[in-house]
Structure 1
Amino acid sequence: MSLFFEDVQIGARYTTSSHEITVAGIADFCRLTLDHHPLHTDAAYAKQAGFPGIIAHGLYGLSLMEGLKTELKLYEESSIASLGWNDVRFLHPIVAGDSVHVEMEFTAKRESSSRPAGIITEAVRLLRSDGKLLINSEHISLIRKAD
């Protein structure tokens, strides 16, 4: 399925599949971003800081949110560009062993003033399997109109 600007319905909601956060995945993000802070690499350090174990980077969670959304294939043929993320809030730590998923909802849309396309706004949330909200954000995208 690929949604074009005309297909986007304000209030439509989507939920992704679940993904398990692993120590190896956090380590991969450390290597990729060069952020090897001990909160992400040293369980004893993280526990001393009040966490149950190593935690994922907030930006790992945000990146994962985009990846999980991509698996929905909503914009396979219509995506032009991400215009940014607004009001990102890291509300609770993401811990190795957590199972997470994304819930998103279309909250606004408007015609682009610079090209024949549309700008859409999504409320995007990362939740743990028990329903705990981990990250809350807003994403803005530029997508094609149907031919």
Structure 2
Amino acid sequence: MSQFEVSPQESGLYFDDFSVGQRWISPARTITEADLVAFAGFSGDYNPLHTDEEFAKKTQFGGRIFHGPGIFAVATGLESRLGIKNGTAIAFLGMDWNLTAPVLIGDTIKVHEEVSEVRASLSKSDRGVVTFDVQVTNQRDEVCQEGQWTVMFQRKG
């Protein structure tokens, strides 16, 4: 996916504003110890791979890693900072998602997003569906998670 950065939108894009090939890169965010502790507490996932440094040192990762679903949650937040969905997205319809590499405490991640499909609703003329190819990368440009997100948007008018 070739990449470029754009300024955040003041208001969201409508279905009619999207075209295949449009790309965005989110702001970056460093994953902290506090993020890991908060996600473990919120989710109830206290797997020692995330919460026990001595246990995690003996794994293939050599230390604790951040929860995979936690990275997905952070990615949705980073992507929202682009503003492309502000006030125009109707629903997040689904995803096809793969976790390809661990994210460690101290890693800095960002979201790369590209429109891969745009289709008007056949049953409701006031909306359409946009599919995005999405990658979460770390500071070394390694892909940590990737897949597709499908979102329903309002049409103009």
Same fold (TM over 0.5): yes
The DSSP-based 3-state class of the residue aligned with 2:20 is coil
Q: Report % sequence identity.
A: 27
The DSSP-based 3-state class of the residue aligned with 1:46 is helix
Amino acid at match of 1:119: V
1:43-54 correspondence to structure 2 within 5 Å: 43-54=53-64
Q: Which residue of 2 aligns with 1:124?
A: 134
The DSSP-based 3-state class of the residue aligned with 1:73 is coil
1:1-147 correspondence to structure 2 within 5 Å: 1=9, 2-86=12-96, 88-115=97-124, 116-147=126-157
Report how far residue 114 of structure 1 moved: 3.2
Instruction: Tell me the TM-score normalised to structure 1 length.
Output: 0.96
Runs of at least 4 residues off by over 4 Å: none
Report how far residue 144 of structure 1 moved: 0.3
Q: Is the 8 A contact 1:52 1:95 kept in 2?
A: no
The DSSP-based 3-state class of the residue aligned with 1:101 is strand
What CA RMSD, in Å, does the superposition of the two structures yield over aligned residues? 0.9
Q: Distance in 1 between matches of 2:137 and 2:44?
A: 26
Q: Figure out how many residues of one structure are paired with residues of the other and give that number.
A: 146
Could you list the runs of 5+ residues in structure 1 that have no partner in the other structure? none
Report how far residue 52 of structure 1 moved: 3.2
